[in-house]
Amino acid sequence: MTTTTGRPASTPVRPPVRALAPHPDRLLPADTGLRDLARSIYQQVSGAPIYSPHGHVDAAVLAENRPFGNPAELLITPDHYVTRLIHAYGVGLDQLGVNTPDADPREIWRLFCSHWHVFAGTVVRYWFESELSEVFGLTVQPSAETADDLYDQLSEQLARPDFRPRELFDRFNIAVLATTDDPASDLSAHQLLAADPDFTGTAVPTFRADRYMTPNVPGWKGFLEELAAAADIDTGSYAGLVEALRNRRAYFKQNGGTATDSGTADAYAIPLPDAEAERIHRAALGGSVAPDEVVAYRRNLLYQLAAMSAEDGLVMQLHADVVRNYDQASFAAYGPDTGHDLPGPATFTAGLRQVLNDFGRSDTFRIVLFTTDETSFSQQIAPLAGFYPSVYVGAPWWFIDTPAAISRFRAAATDSAGFGKTSGFIDDTRAYCSIPARHDMSRRLDAGFLAGLVATHQLGEDEAYEIAGDLAGSVPVNTFRLEKYVRS
């Protein structure tokens, strides 16, 4: 038996079963006066359609509309937010099914439930409470005692037709869902969905060229070949790679895409002379590229992607400054995205100077900056977005996508840049069934923030309602150029 914090128990008595009943006022301000206004603002937007302009749901899931698998496969194993914290209490990632296909899903679920208490106070706990209650109708909290019952209930539901991906898509009231896709993808799933009269929502692809940008990663040559095949353009030269990327951007745009994404080790985007880029490209193909050349190559390509955005108007998302695959042994055993990527210091102001000098005042170019370094909201991102028409403040990302941090973000960004240059909420999730809970969290927090401005007489009450509506609707639509997908 363990305590709430996961330590050896200091008190032996503990109720085995706690009710799962998310409060209708959760996350609204504690102060009664503020709460009443916040609730009213929230209620106005709580049912608004969801625009999800960045995330990691696979379009094929919707196109095929097969029932989801077991609870562990759906809710635990692929979600590194969940697995990393259980791992932090000494549980191996293999025990949680990561890169371990033969792990018993019920055992994984039991491990999750017996660690439920370690999530107390975290956003993962918050999302799960909403999701398990509102999507799956569970009524008791996970625990060692309740694990099996919950597993059975979830399994039963997941087998039902109304729990298939498309049915949930409708139930979640998703207006637009952006996926994340490799440039070599044929986007066939998107095409199937677009052609399917039964699918009334919108799923748009997002062009993410990361794997071509660091020419010393294993498999880089093969990636180039896949891209060449998709574009029917030889990528054996740097010029060819750039041309193939341009070609595929157009293809993504034809297939409904409005944005790209880049996830890079830093935000530096510095053009190289073509000959130098060409030289490094050839050296990399030859297998002999130096670390500083890899960096220069990547930073040049980031600049080229910005230049292409200034041409084709695809909105450039930049998720920068993350230390990837920090733990080499975990990476070797479990692969990427398994919980040991870590925040690095933000480098936007210094890194993007050339890009913004060249394209920052262009009407076509647009860039949304996402950070894991919250000091950059008041110190880099809001100041940039408050001058450059092209720059938008991305919603708090990874590690800071939590109630407390989102509130700090609004306070840090709004007073210099206002609301209209922020991106709207981004769920950025692999956890499909958590999408409504995440957007709902954001709407609650924005309602509370707006209520605070009204209560301190910095904003009129009518404006607060209007801005809340904008933040859920016109703000993400405008930022990500989704106007054509707005339901009338």
* Closest distance to a second copy from the beta carbon of 333 (Å): 10
Q: Which residues of 349-378 are buried (b: 16+ CB within 10 A; e: fewer)?
A: eebbebbbebbbebeebbbbbbbbbbebbb
Closer of 227 and 322 to a second copy (Cβ): 322
Instruction: Give the H/E segment covering residue 146.
Output: none
Query: Of 94, 150, 83, 86, nearest to 118 (Cα)?
Result: 86
Closer of 236 and 420 to a second copy (Cβ): 420
Closer of 149 and 358 to a second copy (Cβ): 358
Number of residues that bind a second copy (CB under 8 A): 112
Alpha carbons 314 and 155: distance in angstroms, whole number = 41
Binding mask 45-84 for a second copy (x = CB under 8 A): ---------------------------------------x
* Residues 7-26, interacting with a second copy (CB under 8 A): 7-11, 14-15, 18, 22-23, 25-26
CA 198 to chain centre: 27
If one asks whether residue 334 binds a second copy (CB under 8 A), the answer comes out as no
Collect contacts of 276-281 with beta carbons under 8 A, ≥24 apart.
277/238, 278/237, 278/238, 278/239, 280/215, 280/238, 281/215, 281/237, 281/238, 281/241
| Residue 220 to residues 264, 283, 357, 374, Cα–Cα distance (Å) | 16, 12, 31, 33
CB atoms within 10 A of CB 443: 24
Given 179, 214, 262, 414, the residue binding a second copy (CB under 8 A):
414
If one asks whether residue 324 binds a second copy (CB under 8 A), the answer comes out as no
* Residues 345-384, interacting with a second copy (CB under 8 A): 345, 349, 353, 356-357, 360-361, 363, 372-375, 378-380, 382-384
Instruction: Assign 263 to helix, strand or coil.
Output: strand
Closer of 57 and 450 to a second copy (Cβ): 450
Residue 364 tokens read as: 């076509």
* Residues 432-461, interacting with a second copy (CB under 8 A): 452-453, 455-460
* Residues 103-142, interacting with a second copy (CB under 8 A): 117-123, 125-126
If one asks whether residue 173 binds a second copy (CB under 8 A), the answer comes out as no
Instruction: Check if the beta carbon of residue 413 is closer than 8 Å to that of residue 41.
Output: no
Pairing of strands 322-323, 342-343: antiparallel
* Closest distance to a second copy from the beta carbon of 59 (Å): 27
* Residues 222-241, interacting with a second copy (CB under 8 A): none
If one asks whether residue 4 binds a second copy (CB under 8 A), the answer comes out as yes
* Closest distance to a second copy from the beta carbon of 175 (Å): 12
Given 33, 69, 222, 287, the residue binding a second copy (CB under 8 A):
33
